[in-house]
Amino acid sequence: MSRKKSNGEFTAFDVVYEDGSRTSNRKIANSELDGAQDDAVVRTIIEAQDQKVAELSGRPRGAIKSIARSAGR
């Protein structure tokens, strides 16, 4: 039996950091985006996610170099 497709609650982004590392399919709730297509809004949300993870893990992320929508999402 195949998986039911999601109803589009999230948008996924690929993030490349200044140090060359990359994270794929970073999810942001569409309700947080609120229809905004501005990269600054997406960057702010992902930086907040990174900060929260860094606080919990004790391992900070580097600065974000670029952000792009994940392919096929």
Structure tokens at 54: 């860094």
Give the pLDDT score at 8. Answer: 76
* Higher per-residue pLDDT: 34 or 71: 71
Cα 6 to Cα 9: distance, rounded to the nearest angstrom: 7
How much is the pLDDT for 6? Answer: 57
What's the pLDDT tens digit per position in 7-63?
A: 678 999 999 999 999 999 999 998 888 776 678 899 999 999 999 999 999 999 999
pTM attached to this predicted model: 0.79
CA quadruple 7, 8, 10, 13: dihedral sign: positive
Q: Where are the domains of the chain?
A: 12-69
What pLDDT shows up at residue 68? 94
